[in-house]
Amino acid sequence: MQAARGASLTHSDARSSDHSDRRRTSRTIFVVVAVTAYSVDVLAKIWAVQRLDDGDIEVLGDWFRLHLVRNPGAAFSTGESFTVVFSLVAIAAVCVVLWFSRRLGNRVWAVALGLLLAGISGNLTDRLLRDPGPLRGHVVDLFSVPHWPVFNVADVCIDIAAGLILLQAFRNVRLDGRTAETGKHQ
């Protein structure tokens, strides 16, 4: 096969082009998922603070309601006195996710890391910008279901990301899309 200006395309050129396309597509998915999910989280929290300060909204009776909570701790309101530590860990986690995103070559990994970045960044934004102050801000939670702590969109993003990461690990698919056993792309 001939390429532009008469140069021939070899099989390795085609593979390199395919790999480059896969990386570009994966990075685009990563950015779109991260920006979209982060925006939904931030907008939901802004809405919750404005609307839910007056009281809960029952969506599905006692099974699902919107309930405003300002959480200084981590999951299940643990570690309320370690808010600064959680903030610093979140900053490091954002850096790690961005570092690994450079190697993306798989769509599932792109969605997983995009959701993870959005979730970490959403809660980190609260810790940086909300009262009582930078690195100590309380995270806004708004979804309430029975027998479970109140949570937010960022928490859902992190949970879905964890599930996708586990799926990829069980499938032995690396960030670049290759499988651990065969080295071929998924």
Spatial strand order in the sheet of 57-58: 57-58, 65-71, 139-144
Lookup: tokens for 133: 């102050």
Q: Which of 13, 21, 56, 155 is catalytic?
A: 155
The closest alpha carbon to 163, from 107, 122, 96, 115, belongs to 115
155 is catalytic: yes
Residues contacting residue 79 through CB under 8 Å, at least 6 positions apart:
73, 85, 86
176 is catalytic: no
Cα dihedral across residues 72, 78, 80, 81: positive or negative = negative
Q: Which of 21, 41, 141, 159 is catalytic?
A: 141
Hey, which residues are catalytic here?
A: 141, 155
